[in-house]
Amino acid sequence: MAFTPKFEITPNLTKILMDIEASRQSVEGLPITLRVLESLRESARLIATHYSTQIEGNRLTQEQVDKVVHGGTFPNRERDEREVKNYYVALDFVDLLVKEVKSSITEKSVKTIHGLVMDGKEKPTSYREGQNVIKDSASGGIVYMPPEAEDVPTLMKDLIKWINKEKGVLPIPVVAAVAHYQFATIHPYYDGNGRTARLLTNLILHKSDYGLKGLYSLEEYYARNLQTYYNALTIGESHNYYFGRADCDITKWVEYFCEGMAGAFAGVRAKANESVGQGGRSADQSTLLRELDQRQRQVLSLFKESRFVTTKEIASLIKIHPRSALNLCKKWLDGGFVTQHGTSNKTRKYELADKWVVLIKGE
């Protein structure tokens, strides 16, 4: 039986969707300098990383997350550090998926997101092979019993099919809300379901022109009042998937989700307007910038300081081995991001290709 969620587009939800659209149109029309845009984007990514991992029990503060992402470390926090690094890398992967010409979302992509969340590796993971149960940490009582493992593959296929089918029919925020809910309901993995659900939400929104230049984070909305987040997800008369949860009305969850989007979008709208008022106005390069991945955006800072850069400098900046930096530069050469000067290891340097020079000028 195909996935058919039950919800209603209420007058309240309609108003919320109109607020989201007003903020989206306002921010998309603002000319923001690359410097301001990159600063706001990186801030949003770090906030998303902090709060999404905090929801799952990560103990690092926002300041510590910032340091870990940029190479710092803290005693006896290896597990927390790994979670943070993995989530940040998964955000990079979502960025890559957003830039793909193909508009559909695939199961393989979702599985790969989960692989990055759990292991930091771009490798699709298999769904759980047994039953898992979500229990209350205090009482030990069962909070939710997901569907049986044998039903998970079909449920996931139906969900992905529904997402791709409804993206051109329903409002995108509603599609994202339903996808988040249903993924968490299916609970296809033993661990990492919440983080993967939130990243899937980002993928749907960003791939459908609701990325808002990458300047917002919904994760903070959930984490600020975690019990409300869990309560909104807990719908149905029974904790068992097969006794009410599978076919319950999720209107309240959809409204909760969209309210968070409206608040986040309004916040970005205010910050963007403020940055323009403080001299951040110039030709908006956000469309061109979206063609670059996170590492390329980081390397732009080197080209701002010098016309030519070396693989050693690139390796040092993005915290990778010089050999890996050399392979990365070969890829960038083929992709037209840089041009090469010199051939030997000692003299080889790279210059930013003409197409991208506008990104480091006129700030």
pLDDT tens-digit readout, 209-227: 898 888 888 998 999 888 8
pLDDT of residue 277: 57
- Residue with the bigger pLDDT between 246 and 17: it is 17
Compute the 3-state secondary structure of the chain and give helix, strand, coil in percent, each to the nearest 5.
65, 5, 30
- Residue with the bigger pLDDT between 40 and 129: it is 129
pLDDT tens-digit readout, 265-290: 988 888 777 766 555 444 456 677 77
Cα 174-178-181 angle, rounded to 5 deg: 140
Buried/exposed code over 164-203 (b: 16+ C-beta within 10 A; e: otherwise): eebbeebbbbbbbbbbbbbbbbbbbbeebbbbbbbbbbbb
Taking the CA atoms of 124, 130, 136 and 139 in sequence, report the sign of the dihedral they define: negative
Mean pLDDT of 140-168: 93
- pLDDT at residue 235 greater than cutoff 70: yes
- The pLDDT > 90 percentage for the chain reads 50
- Residue with the bigger pLDDT between 187 and 246: it is 187
Write down all domains in the chain, each with its CATH number in brackets.
32-278 (1.10.3290.10), 292-360 (1.10.10.10)
pLDDT of residue 363: 47
pLDDT of residue 282: 47
- The pLDDT confidence band at residue 303, using thresholds 50, 70 and 90, is confident
Q: Which amino acid is at 213?
A: K
pLDDT of residue 180: 97
- The pLDDT confidence band at residue 292, using thresholds 50, 70 and 90, is confident
Output the average pLDDT for the chain: 88
- pLDDT at residue 136 greater than cutoff 60: yes
Query: Cβ(110)–Cβ(188) under 8 Å?
Result: no
